[in-house]
Structure 1
């Protein structure tokens, strides 16, 4: 009789599980999905109740063969993919593959990869949840129908090779609609006043004008501001009210997927994709020195704030021992999950609260350490006592003006001792003040301001919007955001999403012709319908029939009526060479202005959008006009240009007829041993410039800062880099273990040792 076989998703889990199960079980990995719909055809038989035509995913045949071989010698098979809808689908497909072995097949799941959790799961196996699998299958088929039927229309009408997605297109519409709101926004002028005041004792403090002539402050012009200033100036500033009270602030709940992605973006600058990749590694297990492979956090795709009683008890013990009993609340904390949350999983938390960030700092890569620290601190804080503040609010009257000032003093940090001060928590002291007391005016400042348009989405705010509107699920947020960037439908500028011309065009066309698909409410309702399939309240075939009943006629009408912009999107810009209108075209390198008289007139220009959306041709920069040589393909001048993502490159002035380009060389030889390449300027999809070897992928050497062909005088690095810091530009060593630096223009022997 062979060993029992456990099949997990990830090879990393194999190592973690084998550590505490030893040789009692065989453990194999499916390496994600093993079967899917075919990539080159629809793969769905709509006439046969949407029967899917699954096949082995290309490149997975060796994995499948290995699983079959392991199953053939097993006595029992336990399927243990991740505990969610996708994991259930993986389990279902693996079961179809190994069923020929003729041995019992069970489904097990665990929220954390520990010996206790895995053994508990093995002792309580279950059948595959058919309803949950059918819910995933319905989602997959819905996405396939939309993607494979709408995308060809976009190829014909807009640009070859682009695509539409059922959920991603709605997320794109949010980004595009926000941009349109910004363009339509009309700024309104307003003025504010601040008085710098002093009492009998320090400190000085600032009070802001809140009411004028008994009404809410509304001063909208320089004339009105001057009149208010004149009316207030010379008047005594008298304290008319002092209110003091204690305020308590409760800790936030432990992380769920969306709040983790938001906090990691805001506090660490991580993208949603980077956050989930790092969290996956922390969940699956990592080598921690003498401890071997250890899983550090619970499952990271969840929308529940529930935590296990034993985890709450462990947090109580840690808090009272490490910080003292005052830092634990009178009653243990319980958080209510939002309506509709899937409560099968706990919140994201450390598996063992006693493994502190300090314990693993030297054992984890920086990005994994920072994320673990964030998760650990949030969990511990969520179980701690409230922070307590002493708030003081003061009203100060000066003639027709009522000024207000607020001060606060931290009485007891509570959870802030672990999670850190948040915006607004910093101390703001006021002097001792009494009603009727006259203050000394040190300065009266007035400032002209204008109302601001709604801000563009960051990754954090877009995830929050998707969650609030019910678009997508925890497992899909990162993929939605990555898809917008990868398809060139949007780009990140200073961490904010800006729709590309292509993205805006696609969104507008889809919104015009596919009203339901692009409707936020409809998309959220579809998520609820898919949840109903998982709960057994809705039949998946009927759901798809209801969808296609409206979708198919809409599809046919769109193919006929959708405007064709492939030849160019009209603008008001006139070609300076021939006088014809210029149009926006979508090329391989992005959007550009091209003459509508092409091919007779081949004038092209880059362009920008004005705040109101008007197209503004971009004047060629001096660096683009200056020739840097002759094109080896056609002989025309070569110029330096800048890509959409920020890096510079060399291009032929004969474009688009001549498409010769090459990266901008730094002239610095690649320092990697045995490499004959040269470092060139590149940029990531997210717009960060770096310098990499032009022999990639054979050589993967790269640095973030401009390289200098000079060896480091303190270590064996063959290059230095020029780096911008808060102290100005410095020449530094790129090696993290070397602290050599000198000021730009400084002597080559001005290195500094350890600080």
Structure 2
């Protein structure tokens, strides 16, 4: 019997695919990339058309030996790595190592790991797409040239251990630019005025917001800029008669969102599940490659996860519409399949992210997945099904009320048909929406009270991971596969730190490096230039441009800037911040705040003669619920996540308090009398008991159930 060797990247993916191919196939895994540029040298010959000097990656020798042995025993070798640039490059390197002809039909691709998709892919094997390989290779070479020439310059001019990158540096600049906007922002005062009104025969009160005044029979919008203007409006309407000027009723429809792309999945997982981008991609990769489901075997649950397209196959649309009708009723299915438009820069190489098996809803597999996997799978499932559901319908009422020439507005909304919102609703409710009583034009209303609120304009918000990914996508910086690793690298390099509200703030180091790059390498950190370079690299993938030409046009002027900066830029001293204390160890040096591998810390100015160091203590502003001492904020080194700990922990007398969540002063659990904490889920904050053993704690309930089950078995 003839034997076919099919190679994929991961053992999990190999196990899943093995279910769909017979005994004539042997499935093996390369365990990721097998060849790359060398780690200790630049590995690019700039004098020979930028030819890369690939080497076998460390630790891959055994994998390659096993693949070569398996290929020697096979009659045919197929390469089924991921269907993108990286996957094509891995296939190219495998073909080189296994001495396969890239022009032969050996490349297998599929967008989802299902029996039909895998078998179709095998039957339609094609030659390697060398344009796709060149597109990956050109990006890799550009990144290497930028990193290997710019990073040493930073070491020389600022300090050792710094790094710069083609995508990393411009993304850091976005964070720095936003911080500058915040620092330059000057708040402006304004006032909101509310009239609390009701019908004379009714007890229900509704709120109308001041909108402006009548001029020539039309409403001229006005916002009081200070207390004097606000008081003038209040004086005009305090004793006035309030009359309904107009009532406008209409049926409003809300349409569902498109199914997920890589970017929108990362944004929603951050906003709704509090997952960072790296965590989201790790979980999504597991769901794509396959998980073990009792009764189903190794099963892939979602389609390929690196995509910028919202396109969906006709077969998947049909399955989704059938499932919606069966589950919710025909009225919940949009009359015609809904097609979403891709963004202009979308490459549309793959479908949107969607479920692979419509007979495996979240409720059926939840108990077989980890808690994190189950949440992400439900997010993807709900978003996709909702995209083919009917729009939600609302009865919308807008009312204008006039009092002595001043106009107030009120809005009300009532759902008349849930549509897609029966399954999916992540919208922020408008705080001005309310249930309004039945009102008629010309009707006189009774004033309950007037409420003025002083406000100040707010600076732009710092980026969260979600909003930064959105900005990267809008600017055209990077591609779906690079968003998560770029943001992780920026934090790992200590160029930005993640604050408790999950916002990203540039560090002094990040600002210093960015300023230096702006002054001497403006194009490297220019979002428009970076986006244009991405577009030009995309033309390599389409076969419309030569990768050597594009790399050459970038590298030559870039290298000239490197030479110029090396000679002309003076050494930049890192700012030193004294904290006003002498070193307790040597009694001579001053204690200073310094930047280290894991962030800022306090150290002696006489280092290395004196090695005293201590952490920076940041008080949380609350007392320890166990001993009453100060609670301080620390940052976990590996997870870069902040946590709360008693100042007495590790001291004498010791206090054991430590928590991921901030304690709430003066509040105790009504069930176990332990302390309460603030639990944050994205923007939402809830209260919960801080004791892991409390019956209200989900983990405690689960642990108790498992213990009871074990007791019953015994």
TM-score (norm 2): 0.85
Give the secondary-structure state (helix, strand or coil) at the position aligned to 1:15. helix
CA displacement, residues 86-107 of structure 1 (integer Å, 9 cap, x when unaligned) = 0000000000010179996610
The equivalent residue for 2:204 is: 203
Q: CA deviation at 1:22?
A: 3.4
CA distance in 2 between counterparts of 1:301 and 1:448 reads: 46
Q: For 1:583 and 1:738, locate their aligned partners in 2 and report how far apart those are by CA, in whole Å.
A: 44
Residue in structure 2 matched with residue 256 of structure 1 by the alignment: 261
Secondary structure of the 2:91 match is helix
Q: Write the deviation string for residues 255-283 of structure 1: whole angstroms up to 9, x where unpaired.
A: 11111111111111111111111111111
Alignment match of 2:461 (pick from 448, 455, 463): 455
Determine the structure 2 residue equivalent to 1:299: 304
Q: How far did 1:183 drift? A: 0.2
Cα distance in 2 between the residues matched to 1:690 and 1:305? 45
1:512-531 residue pairs with structure 2 within 5 A?
A: 512-531=519-538
- Counterpart of 1:732 in structure 2 is 692
CA distance in 1, matches of 2:331, 2:563: 68
* 1:134 Cα offset (Å): 0.4
Answer whether contact 2:42 2:144 (CA < 8 A) is retained.
Answer: yes
Contact 2:644 2:658 in 1 (8 A): no
| 1:716 aligned residue | none
Match of 1:399 in 2: 404
Q: Identify if the C-alpha distance between structure 1 residues 378 and 439 changes in structure 2 by more than 3 Å, giving closer, same or farther.
A: same
The secondary structure found in structure 2 opposite 1:290 is coil
Matching residue of 1:470: 476
1:414 aligns with 2:419: yes
Choose which of 436, 441, 453 in structure 2 pairs with 1:435.
441
Q: 1:587 offset after TM fit, Å?
A: 3.9
> For each residue in 1:113-169, what CA deviation from the matched residue of structure 2 results, as whole angstroms up to 9, or x when unmatched?
011111101111100000010010000000000111110111122221121111011
SS across alignment from 1:48: coil
Tell me which residue corresponds to 1:555.
562
Corresponding residue for residue 646 of structure 1: 635
CA distance in structure 2 between the partners assigned to 1:592 and 1:428 by the alignment:
50
**Equivalences for residues 175-574 of structure 1 within 5 A:** 175-199=175-199, 200-201=201-202, 203-212=204-213, 214=215, 215-420=220-425, 422-424=427-429, 428-493=434-499, 494-566=501-573, 568-569=574-575
Q: CA deviation at 1:357?
A: 1.0
Residue in 2 aligned with 1:751? none
Q: 1:24 and 1:598 mapped to 2: Cα distance? A: 66
Displacement of 1:322 after TM fit?
1.3
Distance 1:262 1:232 in 2: 45
Contact 1:79–1:105 under 8 Å retained in 2: no
With the length of structure 1 as denominator, give the TM-score of the two structures. 0.81
Decide whether the 8 Å contact of 1:72 with 1:101 is kept in 2. no
Q: Judging changes above 3 Å, is the alpha-carbon distance between structure 1 residues 504 and 641 closer, same or farther for their aligned structure 2 residues?
A: farther
Partner SS for 2:26: strand
Q: 2:169 maps to what in 1?
A: 169
Is the CA contact (8 Å cut-off) linking 1:577 and 1:603 kept in structure 2?
no
SS of 1:448's partner is strand
Is 2:142–2:551's contact at 8 Å kept on the other side of the alignment? yes
**TM-aligned CA deviation for residue 228 of structure 1:** 2.1
Deviation at residue 338 of structure 1 after TM alignment: 1.0
Alignment check: 8 A CA contact 1:705 1:722 kept: no
Provide the C-alpha distance between the structure 1 equivalents of 2:590 and 2:564, rounded to a whole number of angstroms. Answer: 30
Deviation at 1:505, TM superposition (A): 1.0
Q: Partners in 1 of 2:186 and 2:615 — Cα distance?
A: 27
Native 8 Å contact 1:255 1:378 kept in 2: yes
Does the CA contact (< 8 Å) of 1:251 and 1:381 recur in 2?
A: yes
Q: Give the number of equivalent residue pairs.
A: 658
Classify the secondary structure of the residue corresponding to 2:245: strand
**Greater relative contact order (Cα < 8 A, sep 6+):** 2
Distance 1:727 1:241 in 2: 43
- Distance verdict in 2 for CA 1:598–1:360, change over 3 Å: closer
> What's the CA shift for 1:581?
12
CA RMSD of the aligned region, Å? 3.5
Q: Deviations over 1:380-417 (max 9, x none)?
A: 00011111111100000112421000001111111111
- CA offsets 1:228-249 (integer angstroms, 9 cap, x no match): 2212211111110110011111
Q: Describe the shift of the 1:519–1:238 C-alpha distance in structure 2 as closer, same or farther (beyond 3 A).
A: same
Q: Which residue of 1 aligns with 2:82?
A: 82
CA contact (8 A) 2:92 2:133 kept: yes
Post-superposition CA distance 1:313-345 (Å, at most 9, x none): 111111111111111122111111111312221
Q: Secondary structure at the match of 2:86?
A: helix
What stretches of structure 1 of length at least 5 have no aligned partner? 609-617, 624-639, 648-681, 695-701, 707-719, 742-755
Shift of 1:193: 0.4
Q: Deviations over 1:575-605 (max 9, x none)?
A: 6889x99997534453468899999999999
Paired residue for 1:684, among 627, 630, 639? 639
Q: Distance in 1 between matches of 2:119 and 2:622?
A: 68
Partner of 1:663: none
